[in-house]
Structure 1
Amino acid sequence: MEEIRHQITMTYTLPMLKKSVRRYWLKSLGWRYFLAMLFVGFCFISALIKKDTSWMMGAFAVIFTLGLLFGISTYLNNRYHVLGTFRALQNPEVTIKMYDDKFALSSELGEGEWPWSAIKEIWRYPDTWLVFLARASYATFPLNVIPQEAQEFILEKTQAAGCKIK
């Protein structure tokens, strides 16, 4: 049996997960989305003020509405998924076991093992990391319970496997 290098129990709170959802939403949409929405919103409001009834006003209205709906649905979908999983836990704890060639996550909902190469990206914040196993699927790692040595181990293993660290 392989030796466990680090084993940590991570406890989650509702404020922590809400903050992670907000961070994911802001970073995944990016500044270009918000800049584009500001520009289209400005054009739309300008056309409304001028009482413009041309096709351009209609185009701005449609683009602005669809852009808003996209941003809102992205946020709500992620929030529903993350908070739904949190609420399904009687005990909001997840245990991570780290080995040389893989890691395992387990909670009362189940467990899984992945090679380090399964982690595609890590978004680092001062209090948490968002660890991506797929494009829109991430785990929140609260850093207050992960010792510095274990954080360095995670970074070393994921970087060696080609993970993007941001």
Structure 2
Amino acid sequence: MIAMPLETTLHYHPDLVRHAVICFWRRSTGRRTLLVSAALAIWFGVLVARGDRSWQIGVTGAAVAISLLVCATVYVVHYRNAMGKLRDMGGTPEATLRADEHSFTLASAAGLATLPWSSVKEVWQFERVWLLLFSPAQFSTLPVADLSPEMQALIGASVRGTGGKVHRL
């Protein structure tokens, strides 16, 4: 027997979108890259304090700068993209999520997309938002407050059923 599709209205606001981007950034690049950058910065400081003028100081300084630039760029690019999509949703930023065991549809003033669950590679479940990841750098945000327990169960089972991973974070 085929179950009836589930449907819910998703409500978005700038704070929620900003939170989703921060969650994505922390999980994808944040802590690890910042720790490596801090270690490199300390080593750079040691080299400078010792008066070292070898190639090591140039390479270390460049590595620190590049890693910090990458961290900042990942955040800024995703933040600007997400806020742009929020603006595209119009005055009342809402979307409709309709899902069954085979696919899901997201519809808003910005557009409509129907995708099979196999397109979702991972679900990152945070307290306030779930992120559906389609690639390492592309995701959709689902506000948890708008997801019924049945919808949450359907999403988790459907993603796992097509080989995707679900991470409770």
Normalising by the smaller structure, the TM-score range is: over 0.9
Kindly tell me: are residues 63 and 53 of structure 1, through their superposed partners in 2, closer, same or farther at Cα, counting changes over 3 Å?
Answer: same
**Mapped contact 1:94–1:107 kept (Cα < 8 A):** yes
What displacement does 1:3 show? Answer: 7.1
Is the counterpart of residue 45 in structure 1 residue 45 in structure 2? yes
After TM superposition, where is structure 1 displaced by more than 3 Å over at least 4 residues in a row? Answer: none
Name the structure 1 match of 2:78: 78
Alignment map for 1:1-166 (pairs within 5 Å): 4-29=4-29, 31-90=31-90, 91-166=92-167
Aligned residues: 165
Which amino acid in 2 is paired with 1:94?
A: A
TM-score, with structure 1 as normaliser: 0.92
Gaps of 5+ in 2: none
1:62-87 CA distance string (max 9 Å, x none): 11111111111111111111111112
SS of the equivalent of 1:15 reads helix
Secondary structure class of the residue paired with 1:53: coil
Structure 1 residue 140 displacement after superposition: 0.8
Report Cα offsets for 1:119-161 as digits up to 9, x if no partner.
Answer: 1100011121011122211111111111111101111111111
For the Cα contact (< 8 Å) 1:4–1:97, is it kept in 2?
A: no
CA distance in 2, matches of 1:160, 1:94: 25
- Structure 1: gaps of 5 or more residues: none
RMSD: 1.6
Moved more, 92-101 or 51-60: 51-60
String of CA shifts for 1:65-110, please: whole Å, max 9, x gaps: 1111111111111111111111222121111111231111101111
Give distance in 1, aligned partners of 2:81 and 2:104.
23
